[in-house]
Chain A
Amino acid sequence: MATEVEQHVNVEVEGGIGWIRLNRPEKMNAIGALTRKQLGDAIKQAERDEAIRVVVLTGSGRAFSSGADVTEMVSGGGMRTPEDVGNVLRTEYMPMLMRLRTMPKPVIAAMNGPAAGIGASYALACDIRIGTPEAYILEAFVNIGLAPDGGVSWLLPRLAGTGVAYEMFFSGKPLSAADAHRLGVINRIVPAERLEEEVRDLANHLISQPRQALAGAKRAVNHALTSSYEDAMEFESYLQEAQAGSAEFAEGVQAFLARRASKK
């Protein structure tokens, strides 16, 4: 008889929304080897599945994710040497974080609670963050003698500015949900009991928007983040040409002229 594999990640597809839920509430959704495998598979599947129009990443229980499973890091479980640490970042975390940022559909972090360490890296790699008042962000690396990883050295200065990013990386102290909201790192704060509803409403609205136009916006932003103003505008102009030839645009303009809602 096959032993049942623990489900560290739950995936649920509901009306075009792909909910990817970290499911280790007893461990504050710490991310270990099995979690990485299941999360990687879930993210890949969410990108491929045409029925999924918007992806939501969230946690079960009190935390979004407390970060890497440190007990596993010291006890074995695939990370024994410094080189293992680097390899896991390069071969496991990197591809899935890249995928969140580049897949041609919106990815929302529903921050049901704190996001620390690599957990914060996931939240920050999403396109949009909606959080509860308890959803602080902690760059905990320094507290155990590590430097930032999972892309936050790139993401956080862009989202919050270098001053805030440095303070977080140096001090190892959390950025409260309220401060994160004020800085624009978290788009909206809602009470915990309304989080899912708020995220679902947003996701449904995005599903009602022209799909290819959203994918185009994401491509344009990703391109712009690594290029000059001039290159970004040129890339945009070609993207816009492609979009201007699309059925989405034809319908959008017709609907606008007829003063009716567009069909998507």
Chain B
Amino acid sequence: MGYENILVDIAAPIAVVTLNRPKVLNALSPELIREMTTALGELDADDSVRAVVLTGGPKVFAAGADIGDMADRGPVEQLRRDQTGRWAAFAAFSKPLIAAVNGYALGGGCEVALMCDLIVAGDSARLGQPEINLGIIPGAGGTQRWPRTAGKYAAMEVMLTGAPVTAERAYELGIVNKVVPSEMTIEVARRMARQLAEKPPLALRMAKEAVLKAFEAPLSDGLASERKSFYFLFASDDQKEGMHAFLEKRKGVFKGR
């Protein structure tokens, strides 16, 4: 597939998607978002790929939306373009998605990181929602995902002040999994992806769905759904392989069946 705003590097069993508009700090133009979500759809369908890294490269993750493109638009135009609705591709993505964040992840950029399942941050990372300074609020999940992870008060501070947090602070808040030297961020995320790629894909998918369900459903529904997925996995070859490999003290080889 030819993309102009992103790079897709498939090195089975993992793939790396790199936002590639360095001149504008990877500003999230509608074209970039379309390409990113299209690529995610393709990678989700590609059985050779079992985990994906999403990054902005060594310097910056994404410094928000294209403000120049939005400044003079009206609400109906914004709605018609349905830029925020396109994020559904992230929600539908069934494989582990790891954000590798260096430098700024601001506004939409930060929200994209928060849509991922794991976040590896370089020590240069700065995450924030500066929308308030432009007279708007986050529109791609920021106000919802921050409090679910960092809690109300930290989220309020980020939303209301617009000031970004450092990688270390984000780690304290539980917003990122790991802080590493920025030169290593993408490599560490790739390794994490390769580790996950060795796990049984169906179980990964069910585990991911179950955790995400915790943010959506009441506990009783979440527990019921978890239980069903648990039983369901006993119908898979990978469960048989996993348990027998354990008993035989060898490493399981999983096929996603």
* Residues of chain A in range 209-264 having any CB-CB distance to chain B below 8 Å: 216, 219, 223, 226, 234-235, 238-239, 241-242
Task: Determine whether the beta carbon of A238 is less than 8 Å from that of B168.
Answer: no
Task: Determine whether the beta carbon of B123 is less than 8 Å from that of A223.
Answer: yes
Does chain A have a CB within 8 A of B179? yes
Q: Which residues of B contact A242 (CB under 8 A)?
A: 181, 183-184
Count of chain A residues with a beta carbon within 8 Å of a chain B beta carbon: 10
Main SS of the interface on chain A? helix
Does chain A have a CB within 8 A of B188? yes
Task: Determine whether the beta carbon of B168 is less than 8 Å from that of A235.
Answer: no
Q: Which residues of B contact A219 (CB under 8 A)?
A: 123, 181
Task: Determine whether the beta carbon of B180 is less than 8 Å from that of A226.
Answer: no
A75-104 vs B, Cβ < 8 Å mask (1 yes, 0 no) = 000000000000000000000000000000
Q: Which residues of B contact A239 (CB under 8 A)?
A: 181, 184
Q: Which residues of B contact A223 (CB under 8 A)?
A: 123
Q: Which residues of A contact B184 (CB under 8 A)?
A: 238-239, 241-242
Q: Please give the distance in Å from A113's CB to the nearest CB on chain B.
A: 36
Q: Which residues of B contact A234 (CB under 8 A)?
A: 180
* Residues of chain B in range 92-128 having any CB-CB distance to chain A below 8 Å: 123
Q: Which residues of A contact B181 (CB under 8 A)?
A: 216, 219, 235, 238-239, 242
Cα distance A242–B184 in the bound complex, in angstroms: 7
Task: Determine whether the beta carbon of B123 is less than 8 Å from that of A226.
Answer: no
Q: Which residues of A contact B179 (CB under 8 A)?
A: 235
Q: Which residues of A contact B168 (CB under 8 A)?
A: 226
Q: Please give the distance in Å from A20's CB to the nearest CB on chain B.
A: 25
Cα distance A234–B123 in the bound complex, in angstroms: 13
Q: Give the most central of A219, A234, A242: most B CB within 10 Å.
A: A242
Q: Please give the distance in Å from A190's CB to the nearest CB on chain B.
A: 35
Q: Give the most central of A219, A223, A226, A238: most B CB within 10 Å.
A: A238
Cα distance A226–B188 in the bound complex, in angstroms: 22
Cα distance A226–B180 in the bound complex, in angstroms: 14
B173-184 vs A, Cβ < 8 Å mask (1 yes, 0 no) = 000000111011
Which single residue of chain A is at the shortest CB-CB distance from B187?
Answer: A241
Cα distance A226–B169 in the bound complex, in angstroms: 11
Cα distance A242–B182 in the bound complex, in angstroms: 9
A127-170 vs B, Cβ < 8 Å mask (1 yes, 0 no) = 00000000000000000000000000000000000000000000
Cα distance A193–B188 in the bound complex, in angstroms: 51
With A235-B180, A238-B188 given, can you name 19 additional A-B contacts, CB distance below 8 Å?
A: A216-B181, A219-B123, A219-B181, A223-B123, A226-B168, A234-B180, A235-B123, A235-B179, A235-B181, A238-B180, A238-B181, A238-B184, A239-B181, A239-B184, A241-B184, A241-B187, A242-B181, A242-B183, A242-B184
Task: Give 6 pairs: A residue, B residue, CB < 8 Å, sorted on A.
Answer: A216-B181, A226-B168, A235-B179, A235-B180, A242-B181, A242-B184
